[in-house]
Chain A
Amino acid sequence: MEELSGWGDDFFWGSVVVAQVFIVSLFLMVLFGLIGAGAKLSKNRIANNIAAAYTVIFRGVPEILVLLLLYFGAAIALTNIVQIFDPNIKFLDIPPFWVGSFGIALVVGAYATETFRGAFLGVDPGQIEAARALGISSFKTFIYIQIPEMWRLALPAFGNHMLSLIKDTALISIIGLNETLFVAEQATATTGKPFTMFIVVGLIYLSFSTIITLTVMGLEKYANKHLEHGR
Chain B
Amino acid sequence: MIVDFSLIIDSIPKMLTGLSLTLQLLFVSAFLGTILAIILLLMRISGRWYLQWPAVVYIYIFRGTPILVQIFIIYHGLPQFEFIRTSIFWPILREPYGCAILALSLNTGAYVSEILRGGILGVPRGLHEAGSALGLSVRQRFIYITTPIAVRLAIPAYSNDIVSLMKATALASTITLLDMMGIARTIVADTFAPYEVFISLAVIYMILTLIIQKSFGWFERYMSRYLKKEA
Contacts and interface: CB of A to CB of B under 8 A. Distances in A.
Given A60-B209, A61-B206, A65-B202, A76 B194 contact: yes
Contact of A195 (B1, B81, B163): B81
A53 B57 CA distance: 38
- Chain A, interface size category, equals 35 or more
B124 interface: no
A194 interface: yes
Contacts, number: 122
Interface in A172-231: 173-174, 181, 184, 188, 192-199, 201-202, 205-206, 209-210, 213
Contact of B194 (A61, A73, A169, A213): A73
Interface in A80-135: 80
B167 A199 contact: no
A195 B78 contact: yes
Contacts of B67: 167
A77 B208 CA distance: 29
Given A60-B210, A209-B64, A69 B202 contact: yes
A158 B38 CA distance: 27
Nearest to B174: A174
Interface residues of B, number: 43
B156 to A, nearest CB: 12
Contacts of B100: none
Contacts of A59: 163, 209
A156 B63 CA distance: 16
Interface residues of A: mostly helix, strand, loop or mixed? helix
A68 B186 CA distance: 12
Contact of B185 (A68, A76, A77, A163): A68
A72 interface: yes
Interface stretch (B42-50, B69-77, B137-145): B69-77
A205 B205 contact: no
B201 A65 contact: yes
A43 to B, nearest CB: 27
A68 B174 CA distance: 12
Given A80-B1, A209-B65, A198 B76 contact: yes
Contact of B198 (A73, A168, A184, A193): A73
Contacts of A184: 72
Contacts of A205: 64-66, 69
A23 interface: no
B199 interface: yes
Interface of B: 1, 61, 63-70, 72-73, 76-81, 163, 166-171, 173-174, 181, 184-185, 188, 192, 194-195, 198-199, 201-202, 205-206, 208-210
25 contacts: A56-B206, A61-B167, A61-B209, A62-B166, A62-B169, A62-B205, A65-B201, A72-B194, A72-B198, A76-B194, A163-B63, A167-B65, A173-B68, A181-B66, A181-B69, A188-B76, A192-B80, A194-B77, A195-B80, A201-B72, A202-B65, A205-B66, A206-B65, A209-B63, A210-B64
